[in-house]
């Protein structure tokens, strides 16, 4: 039996294991650390790309979305959705200059979708109001019917 000291650095404990098991445990732990580091590096790269996109094109996207929506809160949402869509799809562009065009086109499409969504939502709210008014009219009619004398 040997004491596996590699794990004591991380878990503050000593494990009494066979030498072969110690090597397996240490190797497994090192692989886990490498995967964790790889994920952290990926996140850092994504964050850097997002910051670069925001710095380079954020103002243009925001202004264009605001021109469509006339609402700063919705325009900021469109900016965020556009950047997320870019990072998720990671489009392969022939020319880096096409990056801005891609982002603006996506932002325009998202803005148009938001306009359609808002129009549908407003229509639904209006229909609910009309239904409520119809109920009031029907209530008035039924009250009049009930007030009629029986034959």
As a whole number of angstroms, the distance between CA 27 and CA 42 comes to 22
Q: Is it the case that residue 24 has pLDDT exceeding 80?
A: no
Q: What average pLDDT does the segment 145-150 reach?
A: 78
Q: Both tokens of residue 66? A: 């605001």
pTM: 0.56
pLDDT, average across residues 123-147: 68
Tokens of 54: 């925001």
Query: How many domains does the chain fold into?
Result: 1
Domain with 110, as residue range(s), is: 2-147
Mean residue pLDDT of the chain comes to 77
């Amino acid at each position: 039996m040997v004491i596996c000291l590699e794990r004591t650095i991380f878990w503050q404990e000593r494990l009494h294991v066979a030498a072969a098991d110690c090597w397996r445990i240490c190797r497994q732990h090192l692989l886990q650390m490498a995967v964790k580091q790889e994920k952290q590096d990926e996140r850092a790269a994504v964050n850097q790309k997002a910051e670069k996109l925001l710095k380079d094109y954020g103002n243009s996207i925001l202004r264009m979305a605001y021109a469509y929506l006339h609402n700063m809160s919705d325009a900021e949402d469109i900016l965020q959705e556009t950047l997320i869509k870019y990072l998720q799809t990671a489009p392969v562009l022939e020319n880096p200059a096409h990056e801005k065009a891609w982002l603006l086109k996506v932002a325009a499409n998202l803005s148009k979708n938001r306009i359609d969504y808002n129009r549908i939502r407003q229509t639904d709210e209006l229909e609910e109001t009309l239904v409520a008014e119809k109920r009031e009219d029907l209530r008035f009619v039924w009250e009049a019917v009930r007030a009629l004398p029986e034959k």
